[in-house]
Amino acid sequence: MTGKKVLVVDDEIHIVHVVMIKLRNSGFEVISASNGQEGLKLAISEKPDIVIADLKMPIMSGLEMVEKLRSCEQTKDIPVIVLTARGFTLEDDRGRDLHISGCISKPFSPKKLLKDVENILYQKQLVQKG
């Protein structure tokens, strides 16, 4: 999976750092944004292979960002993993409608997040080959 680009969007800088270190140590190129509006601009310009986004952020929430990603031709097929605060859940219908690939509650295991990223990208690669 090396060489794949991951966009991490979260307003909590310590979360971004933990995720970036884990992914970079596993060979991923990582870019980041601190809110959904920045994340959307980066997703359009950088075309990452996958996006990891917090749901609750200032300026533009992660959910709003995903809605805009899905409505844009260049970004509509980028897989997204959302990070949620403990106790906050994403309704199954909403996640399906927005084609969200995974939902992980904070606090989370960076190792599990890495595994989820690898699995989602591997599945996407299989679909593209098939």
Q: What is the pLDDT of residues 65-108, one digit of tens each?
A: 999 999 999 999 999 999 987 655 555 555 566 788 888 888 89
Please state the pTM of the whole predicted model. Answer: 0.91
| Gap between the Cα atoms of 106 and 100, Å rounded | 17
pLDDT of residue 1: 52
Fold entry, domain 5-129:
Rossmann fold (3.40.50)
Specify the higher pLDDT residue, 85 or 20.
20
pLDDT at 130 over 90: no
**Residue 128: per-residue pLDDT:** 73
Instruction: List all residues 6 or more positions away from 102 whose beta carbon is below 8 Å from its beta carbon.
Output: 81, 82, 116, 120
* Domain positions in the chain: 5-129
Between CA 36 and CA 42, with CA 107 as vertex, the angle to 5 degrees is 20
Spatial strand order of the sheet with 80-84 comes to: 29-33, 5-9, 50-54, 80-84, 102-105
Cα 31 to Cα 29: distance, rounded to the nearest angstrom: 7
